[in-house]
Amino acid sequence: MSIKDQTEYEDLLGLWSDLEAGLGILLGSPASIQEFEQRVWQYDRWMQTLLERDADVGLYLLFQLSTHSSVGYSASYSLICSVLCHLIASELKLSMPERNSLVHAAMTMNIAMTALQDELALQTDPLTPEQQDAIRGHAAKGSLMLANLGVTDELWLEVIANHHDESLEKVELRLLPARKRLVSILRAVDRYAAMISPRKSREGRSTTESVRSIMSSTAPYNDAVGHALVRAVGLCPPGTYVRLEDNAIAVVVRRNSKANLPHVAIMTDAAGSTLPRPRLHCPANGKPALKAALASAMVRQRFNHHLALQLSLQAALAQQA
């Protein structure tokens, strides 16, 4: 998939934005949706089609969209979790029925608190007792809501009902039955997405800090999901920012076989001034090395992302050579 100019970039970003907006309607007004389960399948196929065009470009746009969403925190969060679960399912070689149940659960796991999730993203005050009760009960309530909306996939419903089960962290993923295996995956993805997603009350954490937090909390029992996540999207996924050892800022444009050495587009000089055109660089091929992953809130400059994505195609061609 090539991004030739600003128009192509905006068209593709628009497709991802439309998908996010559709999910926002689905989650925000579920009772008004006819054939709810079939609509979830439709959005799932739409998501897969966009990823099949170029998964790296899709991840780039998704991570950029998540920090500038105009639809709402809940819809953006749902889309990130769905994409991550789809990619992890491939890494873990889940069966297609398991993959479907997992992704559909990721899309709808917070359906019982959609409005509250959007509200909390903008809230700086401590949680009220009523909000705490809603959060504690949303998993079971969400599963019941979906059943009442006509969802018949029992695995999907069961995964949502149990996606905050902490006991699974002490059991190896390979030893878990299908239901609990999917719960464990979704729980880890949920935590990762929550850590990297910015809210009014706190800035999002860097992706490396987030994935290491997940892996350290489950080690040595069950870090298989964390390793699958790193294999799927890298320590620094496309669309996220890094600082190089010379202090220049770069944006990741394509994954690499070495998860900690992605292809990046260098966007600034060492002093932080934006370059007229970004430069493609792969730390695996030489200096400057990656110094640190950056949370999106730490990057104040505005960049031309279509120029960075043109370099993503160059990187893809170089990998094929």
User: Is 80 exceeded by the pLDDT of residue 36?
Assistant: yes
Q: What is the pLDDT of residues 76-100, one digit of tens each?
A: 999 999 999 999 999 999 999 999 9
CA distance 317 to 320: 5
Contact 251, 264 (CB under 8 A): yes
Tally of CB atoms within 10 A around 70: 10
List, for residues 113-171, the tens digit of each pLDDT value.
Answer: 999 998 888 888 889 999 999 999 999 999 999 999 999 999 999 999 999 988 877 77
Q: Please check the confidence at residue 243 and state whether its pLDDT lies above 90.
A: yes
- On the question of pLDDT at 321 being above 80, the answer is no
Q: How confident is the model at residue 217 (pLDDT cuts 50, 70, 90)?
A: low
> Which domains does the chain carry?
6-233 (1.10.3210.10), 241-320 (no CATH)
Q: What are the structure tokens assigned to 222, written together?
A: 């069950």
pLDDT computed for residue 9 by the predictor: 87
3-state helix, strand, coil in the chain (%, to 5): 60, 10, 30
Note whether 219 and 237 are within 8 A (CB). no
Sign of the CA dihedral with 138 first, then 21, 299, and 206 last? positive
Q: Which residue, chain included where needed, has tokens 């559909």?
A: 104
Rounded (10°) angle between helices 207-218 and 224-233: 160
Question: Within 13 A of 251's CA, how many CA atoms are on the CB side?
Answer: 33
Q: What is the per-residue pLDDT for 317?
A: 77
Residue type, position 298, single letter: M
Question: How far is residue 196's CA from residue 77's CA, in Å, rounded to a whole number?
Answer: 10
Tokens found for residue 260: 């900690």
More confident position, 174 or 252: 252
Q: Across residues 182-192, what is the average pLDDT?
A: 92
CB atoms within 10 A of CB 96: 8
Residue given tokens 């992706």 in the structure block? 207
**Number of alpha helices (DSSP H) and beta strands (DSSP E) in the chain:** 12, 5
Q: Above 90 in pLDDT, residue 67?
A: no
Whole-number percent of the chain with pLDDT over 90: 59
Alpha-carbon span 31 to 263, nearest angstrom: 44
pTM: 0.92
Cα–Cα distance, 96 to 237 (Å, whole number): 25
Q: What percent of the chain has pLDDT over 70?
A: 92
